[in-house]
Every structure is written in C-alpha cells, then in structure tokens.
Structure 1
C-alpha cells in the first residue's frame, strides 16, 4: 500500500473528490498556522501566561476577532466546494440503485438494463469481500445521476474515491451527481449497519471509455 494513503484520502477519481482533497489540505494548513502562532506567542510573550493577571481588554478583543476572521476564511473556502458538490444539472445517464438484504440492484433507465450485484464467494479473488459477480459500468468523464432507494431497511451506497456516501432509505428517493475521471475499477461498500450480512454488500464499479460502454450496453440489452 502506498504510504501516502495512510495519511490522506484515497486517490481521487472524480472532480468532487479532487476538490475535497484540496479543501482538506487547505484546512490542515490553516490549523498548522494557528498552532504555530500560538506556540510562538506562548514562548515569546511570557506576560500572557501570568496566572495573577485578572483582565486584559486588548487580549480579549484579539481572541474574539481572530477566531471570527479565521472562520470567515474557512467558510469562503468551503462554501463554493459544497455548492459544486451538490449541483444537479447537465447529467447524461441516470442509474437507479436499490439496496436489498444483502445485495445491490442496478437499473440503467436510459437503456432498459437491470441486474443484481452479489458478493463473490470464490476462494480465488483479488480483494476479499469487495468483488461482485456483476459490476456497475459507467462511461469515462460523463455526468451521471445516481438515484437511490431501498427495498427493506436503510442501506448506504458508499464509493470513497468518488466522494459519494448516499443513504438508501425505504420509501424515499435520494439523488447525487457524479463524474468519473479515471478509467479502471473502484470499490466501495454499504456503510450503514443494515443487518447480519451488512459486511457482505460490496460495491464494484468499472469506468470504461464511451466506446466500450456502448458495447457493454448492446451486449446486456
């Protein structure tokens, strides 16, 4: 395993995840600057550490204004990313995802394709409790609308590399927009405790070129 993954998010496979990685780096930088500033003040201004000091109006004003200013900076950085992550327009393909005990059902509404996705129980596999018999296939760099619900209990369709974690709730339709910018296979799991076999509900998704996706659609119709 790459050592960088131990200290940060999984490699981004969507614009949304890329923005989240950048936001995380900026927030960590702000926190480090705050910690360093406090350490410098504590080491140089010993008068501020006097236990007998009763009041200091200048210091009280500073520790009220500076945190408010920092919060404004953090808000200005995060709000645009929050807005773009929830933007719901200009999608080309709609995929309906249904949670079941304990497997996922996929429906490509544009192409009339339906299938279930179960975890593979073979002895020879590449990733334990992550591979499925039928994987979700999406085209590269194409805006998608994912609509999620459940047939029984609350599930949660989670794909960390795409910055997606959406609850599948019975009687309710949740939706999210995504676009994969990396060709290859990605893995996720149900991140909601949905029953005894909760850990056996993996998500396997493959991103292919548009030409390969059209071949896959024609093959599965």
Structure 2
C-alpha cells in the first residue's frame, strides 16, 4: 500500500516485483552516471577547459563514444530480458483464477472449483468502515494462498480494461474476445490493492482490485465457506 509523501515504489510482495525494483535501481544508476558525464563535458567545453582539437577530433574518442553506448545497452538489455522471461514463465500453477473486466467492476472465477466465483464492486465512500481505503476497497476480495504459483487469466466483457496490482508486479490488459494470462507468487501474507489501468469509461476509477494472500489452511477454509454459500 502506498503512503503519503512516498518517493519510491510500493514494497515488493512477489519475487518478480523484487527483481523489477533491483532493475529500476540498476538502470537509474546508469542514467545518473550518463547525466554526470554529459554535464561534465558540457561544462568543460563552455568554460574552455576542453578545447584541444587533438582530443575532440581524435579517432580514440570516436571509438569511445561508439563502444561505450553499446556496452551500456547490453548492461540494460540483459537483466531486462531476464525479468521478461521470468514474467512469462508459467509452470505448474497451484491455482488458476479468471479475472473478467466489466463496466465497471471485476468478476472472478476460480477455475479449479466448479461453482466458486463472484463479482467485486467498489465499496461506496458512505459505506466504508474506519481503516478502509476510499476508492480501493471492494466488497469481495480475491483470496489466494501465499507462496503458491497463481495463474491469472484476464479478459473483458465489454471494453478494454487492465488488471494491475503494483505490489505484485502484475499488469495485464483485459481485451474482449481474448484471453491473456500472467502469473505471480506472493512472498508474504497481506492485502494488496490495485486498480484498472486502462481508461475504460466514465467510472474507470471506480473498479478497484483487492488481492488477499493468506496461508493455505485459511484459503481452504475460505473456499469451503464460499462453496457452501454458492
């Protein structure tokens, strides 16, 4: 959950998001070093301390400014490709959930169970209880077992939506007539908030996503209770 005056990302709750945070810091440091080098060269030329024609027109400096960017691109591309492969890797998920975007709410179907599914609507401001977050709370949470590979199948009923939970490093477009998939593992218990990240209409900002990660025994109790009520 984000907090006031926060400068960085939300705390990572999945291994993929932890890798993204490391990659962000890695790339940010490269950008910082490039900026310092460019500013130094500009300042040196403006103050006339770097005007030697033998340096500015030498073959050596041309080699440097050709090879150095190539090395920098490799340093960025390799960890980036590694994270992309980690995000696409879906092997033996313990649970598969289908998320369906509507104008303007989400539906969830637990495909491993025959009759386990529900709609999740945003709780209106006047109905919130103390401690709940405005525009982020839903009347039904997507409950999942922690430390288990979860596969999410994402689609939409009407227009484009996007299922996004920043703390889990998940963002997948919901396209009508198409079934997209992604996966994640929650590394700790907690409640993680997200929102539709595609401008889907007038009430785009009123279809929150609430994921609750719980130990396996609590998930089994919750699923049994939901099946009894179905």
- TM-score, reference length from structure 2: 0.87
CA deviation vs aligned residue, 1:20-69 (integer Å, no higher than 9, x gap): 00111111122222333445556678564569x98332222211111111
Structure 2 counterpart of 1:116? 119
Bigger mean CA offset, 176-185 vs 37-46: 37-46
Q: Following the alignment from structure 2 to structure 1, what is the Cα–Cα distance between the partners of residues 42 and 20? A: 33
Which residues in structure 2 correspond to 1:82-101 (within 5 Å)? 82-101=84-103
Give RMSD over aligned pairs.
2.3
Q: Following the alignment from structure 1 to structure 2, what is the Cα–Cα distance between the partners of residues 75 and 170? A: 32
Which residues in structure 2 correspond to 1:70-219 (within 5 Å)? 70-112=72-114, 113-123=116-126, 124-125=128-129, 126-219=132-225
- TM-score, reference length from structure 1: 0.91
Whether the 8 Å CA contact 2:125–2:134 is kept in 1: the answer is no
SS of 1:16's equivalent in the other structure is helix
Bigger mean CA offset, 59-68 vs 119-128: 119-128
Q: Against the structure 1 CA distance between its residues 76 and 120, is the aligned structure 2 distance closer, same or farther, given a 3 Å change threshold?
A: same
Structure 2 counterpart of 1:11? 11
Q: Following the alignment from structure 2 to structure 1, what is the Cα–Cα distance between the partners of residues 50 and 70? A: 21
Deviation at 1:205, TM superposition (A): 1.1
Which residue, out of 46, 58, 62, partners 2:60?
Answer: 58
Whether the 8 Å CA contact 1:130–1:189 is kept in 2: the answer is yes
Structure 2 counterpart of 1:25? 25
Aligned length: 219
Q: Following the alignment from structure 1 to structure 2, what is the Cα–Cα distance between the partners of residues 96 and 39? A: 50
Q: Following the alignment from structure 1 to structure 2, what is the Cα–Cα distance between the partners of residues 41 and 195? A: 49
Deviation at 1:108, TM superposition (A): 0.3
Bigger mean CA offset, 133-142 vs 31-40: 31-40
Gaps (5+ residues) in structure 1? Answer: none
CA deviation vs aligned residue, 1:178-211 (integer Å, no higher than 9, x gap): 1111211111101111111111100011110101
Q: Against the structure 1 CA distance between its residues 29 and 218, is the aligned structure 2 distance closer, same or farther, given a 3 Å change threshold?
A: same
Deviation at 1:89, TM superposition (A): 1.1
